[in-house]
Structure 1
Amino acid sequence: MNTTVRIKLSAMMFFNFFVWGIWFVTMGTYLTKGGIMASGTQTGLAYGTQCLGAIIAPFIVGMIADKFFAAQKILGVLHLVGAIILYLISIQTDFDSFYSLLLVYMILFMPTLALVNSISLNQMTNAEKEFASIRVWGTIGWIAASLIIGWMAWESSPESLNITFLISAIVSAGFGVYCFFLPNTPPPKAGKKVSFSETIGLDALKVLADKNYLIFFIASILICIPLAFYYGQANQFLNEVGMQSAAAKMTIGQMSETLFLFLMPLFFLRFGIKQMLLIGMLAWVLRYLLFAYGDAESNIWMLYVAIALHGICYDFFFVTGQIYTDQKAGKESRSSAQGLITLATYGVGMYIGFYVAGLIVDQNSMEAGMHNWNKIWIFPCLFAIGISLLFFVFFKEKHKIKIEE
């Protein structure tokens, strides 16, 4: 890959995740503390739009991007239309209109996650060695977005957080134009006859015939229920307990994720699949215990450790799971299988999780808009313990991930 292409792809990853990260982390704080004054349940529904977008995304990518139009052109159009919707979101004052527009936006945005991967992989001859160095710029984009929020101290005035949607709209518009100058990625199935079941990924269901994979698949859905508590409630929690520039400090989690991503091959050599997945699950248990008993004073170290655990929480379970899925599915249906596990986790599992998290937050609300966070965090902690125990008992796969040269 030449330097010009590498720079273009790195910038693509950076801006695609920047336009998401600039508003997503603080949306819960904005909805509950800003001008909309949403309930916990409503906040959960708002975050759940990501999941509905993830469920619909395979249809958009499978039916349109794979058969009719070049990926970079679809990416550009989605961001240009998305910019208009983001602007409209930034000026809403009631939850119903906010939610309706956000749902439309996430249906447009979630397919971009697959499109940027397709555009990148199309330019690579050795994805195993080249992709990580490109994909990491997406994480850097997310970190940059959160640092800007911290530097501007927008969280100290939650009603001003609507500016994050406006900034996202401006960047999305510029990025949408930029996308048309990305390397050409023609539709791979243009002119080919593909069945409807293959288009929507139903051919991947055969991987569920493997008992161990079926257990992993169910566990993946269930572990996303406590996972959603972090994505939907962590920023609101950290702001309520008094942590300064919470969004900026939450980037410790993305830094940890990046570090462990590069260390994963070393762990694959040492641990088996079952051990790797269990370590990831138990990291969620520890994280929520630290949140439950930490504070912004003498126990602030607990909050920092809980945030830093994100690398283990995410990489050990989800990255291991993606590689496990790839090896179980084989070359013929690996893309469909990855789409299936993404739909199950980021779609079904997290949608349930965001809704449950909203209910638990509402049940533990107090006066002056505050909450009993100890009880809130204990729920996902116990839930994760239960899933970990069931996974330990029933999952029998013990071989290690195969690392290809």
Structure 2
Amino acid sequence: MNLKIKTQLSTMMFLEFFIWGGWFVTLGTFLGNNLNATGAETAMAFSTQSWGAIIAPFIIGLIADRYFNAERILGILHLLGAVLMYQMYTAVDFAAFYPYVLGYMIVYMPTLALVNSISFHQMKNPAKEFSFVRVFGTIGWIVAGLVISFVFVWDSEAARAGGLLRNTFLMVAIASAVLGLFSFTLPKTPPKVSNSEKPSISEILGLDALTLLKDRNFLIFFVSSILICIPLAFYYQNANPFLSEIGMENPTGKMTIGQGSEVLFMLLLPYFFRKFGFKKTLMAGMLAWTVRYFLFAFGDAGDQAYMLIIGIALHGICYDFFFVSGQIYTDSKAGERYKSAAQGLITLATYGVGMLIGFWVAGVITDSYIVSDGIHSWVDIWTFPAIFAFGVMILFTIFFKNEEVEYKE
């Protein structure tokens, strides 16, 4: 790639994840403070991510891959997203807010695949070139959190009381409009298949890869992937409200430590893969969820604040060691015929089905431990996913037989 294209793609990735990190992290806090949403209603709002993930393959498979250039669809979706995000900014209650957040996630989730497609189309060697471009996405997410906490201070107690956290949606609406317009200047990425080629629904959803479930090890991994999404949902849905409620200063900015950790452990993943193998790497990832949530359960914003910081910093192990390792394992098991279908299937199972169940469970548990006047018993709330993650790890350890998995850099 020449410098111009590399700069364009890096800017695209930065804005793509600045947009997501600019509102999704503080969503739970906003819903509780500004819209007086219950745990169940908060779960409904977060579950829109799952519905978007389920619907996204249809948009990509039936439209983007066949009829229009990917960069044009990216532009249109983000312009629509800007309008929906502005409507979320103006919503005064949950009933008015929910249709817009649902519509937004339906148009946003397909863009995650589109930015990858646009990037890969410009690269001669994606294995070497993509990581440089993709890291700007993580930087964008980090910058969004730092801007919210340290530039505008919208997540401070006084700002939350004054309703200023609502401004995150306005910020993201502007960023989405900018990326929407910018997308039309990106390098052309024409459709991958001709109009005459009609993929089946099973191909679009990756269901052709279901044959892999005949392999006992892959079946255990597949089920574990769905189950571990329940603890993951607790983090997405409850971490920011938890940190805000117990009085931690600049919670959104401090949560960006998790993204920094993600970058670090992504770089260390090849070493752990070679040193300890696939099974132990996944076990470490699941155990990290248990440790993280016990740290959250017994930490506080005072003398025990270091426990919360360590819990946030464990995000790299929690996410990379399980989900990224899982993508590598899936690729190794699929073979050439089912590579794309298998990745589509595991995405549908985790971000679709797994997270949908996880957000619902998190909502029920959170509502069950309200002590008084919106104050929660966080020890009980965090203990549930800690024990659950440990149980999943034990089941995986017992039933998954160790096997060699090649790591291709």
- Rounded to whole Å, the distance in 2 between the matches of 1:211 and 1:67 is 36
2:77 paired residue number: 78
1:190 paired residue number: 194
Residue type at the aligned position of 2:111: T
Q: Secondary structure at the match of 2:274?
A: helix
2:21 paired residue number: 21
1:146 paired residue number: 145
Q: 1:211 aligns with which of 209, 216, 231?
A: 216
| 2:176 is equivalent to residue 172 of structure 1 | yes
- Asked whether the equivalents of residues 289 and 318 of structure 2 are also in contact (C-alpha less than 8 Å), the reply is yes
1:40 paired residue number: 39
Q: 1:307 aligns with which of 288, 307, 312?
A: 312
Residue type at the aligned position of 1:369: G
Per mean C-alpha deviation after superposition, the further-off stretch among 150-159 and 167-176 is 150-159
Q: 2:255 aligns with which of 250, 253, 256?
A: 250
1:149 positional shift = 0.6
- Asked whether the equivalents of residues 82 and 176 of structure 2 are also in contact (C-alpha less than 8 Å), the reply is yes
What pairs up with 1:84-99 in 2 under 5 angstroms? 84-99=83-98
1:192 positional shift = 4.7
What pairs up with 1:3-402 in 2 under 5 angstroms? 3-34=3-34, 36-151=35-150, 152-156=152-156, 157-158=159-160, 159-196=163-200, 197-399=202-404, 401-402=405-406
Which whole-Å deviations, capped at 9, do the CAs of 1:277-322 have from their partners, x for residues lacking one?
Answer: 1110000000001000000111111000000000000000000000
- Rounded to whole Å, the distance in 2 between the matches of 1:71 and 1:206 is 30
Per mean C-alpha deviation after superposition, the further-off stretch among 11-20 and 328-337 is 328-337
Per mean C-alpha deviation after superposition, the further-off stretch among 360-369 and 45-54 is 360-369
1:118 positional shift = 0.7
- Rounded to whole Å, the distance in 2 between the matches of 1:195 and 1:185 is 20
- Rounded to whole Å, the distance in 2 between the matches of 1:124 and 1:113 is 17
- Rounded to whole Å, the distance in 1 between the matches of 2:124 and 2:218 is 30
- Rounded to whole Å, the distance in 2 between the matches of 1:270 and 1:163 is 46
Instruction: List gaps (5 residues or longer) in structure 2.
Output: none
Per mean C-alpha deviation after superposition, the further-off stretch among 201-210 and 163-172 is 201-210
- Asked whether the equivalents of residues 205 and 348 of structure 2 are also in contact (C-alpha less than 8 Å), the reply is no
Q: Secondary structure at the match of 2:367?
A: helix
- Rounded to whole Å, the distance in 1 between the matches of 2:214 and 2:196 is 29
1:199 positional shift = 3.1
- Rounded to whole Å, the distance in 2 between the matches of 1:191 and 1:325 is 30
- Rounded to whole Å, the distance in 2 between the matches of 1:259 and 1:226 is 22
1:366 positional shift = 2.0
Q: Secondary structure at the match of 1:112?
A: helix
- Rounded to whole Å, the distance in 2 between the matches of 1:279 and 1:396 is 16
1:332 positional shift = 2.3
1:135 positional shift = 0.7
Question: Which structure 1 residue ranges, 4+ long, deviate > 6 Å from structure 2?
Answer: none
Residue type at the aligned position of 2:382: W
- Rounded to whole Å, the distance in 1 between the matches of 2:354 and 2:75 is 29
Which whole-Å deviations, capped at 9, do the CAs of 1:100-153 have from their partners, x for residues lacking one?
Answer: 110011000000001111111111121111111111111100000000110121
- Rounded to whole Å, the distance in 1 between the matches of 2:361 and 2:204 is 32
- Count of residue pairs brought into register by the alignment: 403
Q: Secondary structure at the match of 1:366?
A: strand
Per mean C-alpha deviation after superposition, the further-off stretch among 274-283 and 365-374 is 365-374
Which whole-Å deviations, capped at 9, do the CAs of 1:139-172 have from their partners, x for residues lacking one?
Answer: 1000000001101211122221111111111111
Q: Secondary structure at the match of 1:124?
A: coil
Residue type at the aligned position of 1:141: G
Residue type at the aligned position of 1:397: N
Residue type at the aligned position of 2:20: W
Cα RMSD of the aligned pairs, angstroms, is 1.1
Residue type at the aligned position of 1:32: G
Q: Secondary structure at the match of 1:402?
A: coil
- Rounded to whole Å, the distance in 1 between the matches of 2:208 and 2:322 is 24
Residue type at the aligned position of 2:199: S
Q: Secondary structure at the match of 2:22?
A: helix
- Rounded to whole Å, the distance in 1 between the matches of 2:355 and 2:408 is 32
Q: Secondary structure at the match of 1:297?
A: coil
- Asked whether the equivalents of residues 286 and 318 of structure 2 are also in contact (C-alpha less than 8 Å), the reply is yes
1:398 positional shift = 2.4
Per mean C-alpha deviation after superposition, the further-off stretch among 11-20 and 364-373 is 364-373
Which whole-Å deviations, capped at 9, do the CAs of 1:355-387 have from their partners, x for residues lacking one?
Answer: 111111111112232111000000001111111
Instruction: List gaps (5 residues or longer) in structure 1.
Output: none
